[in-house]
Amino acid sequence: MKLVIFLGVIAVILFYFITLYNALVNLKHAVARSWANIDVLLKQRHDELPKLVEVCKQYAQFEQQTLSRVMEARSAVAQYAQSRNMEGLGHEEDKLRGLIGQVLAVAEAYPELKADQQFSHLSERISQLEDHIADRRELYNDAVNLNNVRIEQFPDVLIARLFNFPTARALQFSAAEKRDVDLRQLFQRD
């Protein structure tokens, strides 16, 4: 009888630790899935930006310096996204988002460009992608937070350390991104 009770207790403890392990695996994959969703949107925006820049270049007087800075920031975002450097990605995302806003604001001074259907479509598409990226960043950061909290809580920490579950890095927002937008500044030229 004691052997049956002992084996029953061992089976319950084993089942409990298997459940904890599986929960940690699910959280790890939720973080990866959330990142993959952001990555898809970043790639879509990455593909749309050259089209927007090309449409803008058709208007000879449009500011080439601004367009060059957009393409440089686009490349930096792609590099940080590929290497999963969340700190650098957050910084470059802020920079790129500001430059996109600047391109759209500068376009206000060019009525022919504003009236261009391709420009309108691309700028609307990029704005939608920006909104989706912001939503996915929130979901990603939530998944990261859940993951990091669980691997620090007892008894999950025992399994996390035993099986080397890593902490994940959240996408941080810069102070500039958190403050109100100065529309007057966006409409000023370099």
CB 102 within 8 A of CB 88: no
Tell me the domain boundaries of the chain. Answer: 43-169
Does residue 36 have a pLDDT over 80?
A: yes
pLDDT of res. 19: 93
CATH code assigned to 43-169: 1.20.1440
pLDDT of res. 62: 63
* Per-residue pLDDT tens digits for 98-135: 888 877 777 777 777 766 777 778 888 888 888 888 88
Does residue 187 have a pLDDT over 50?
A: no
Determine the Cα–Cα distance for residues 112 and 107; give it in Å rounded to an integer: 9
Determine the Cα–Cα distance for residues 89 and 83; give it in Å rounded to an integer: 9
DSSP character at residue 61: T
Q: What is the dihedral of CA 117, 120, 123, 127, to 10 degrees?
A: -130
Work out the mean pLDDT of the chain and round it to a whole number: 81
Claim: this prediction has a pTM higher than 0.85: no
pLDDT of res. 169: 87
Which of 98, 118, 125 has its CA nearest to residue 56? 118
Mean pLDDT of 48-64: 72
pLDDT of res. 70: 83
pLDDT band at 10 (very low <50, low <70, confident <90, very high): very high
pLDDT of res. 183: 41
* Per-residue pLDDT tens digits for 136-168: 988 999 999 999 999 999 989 999 999 999 998
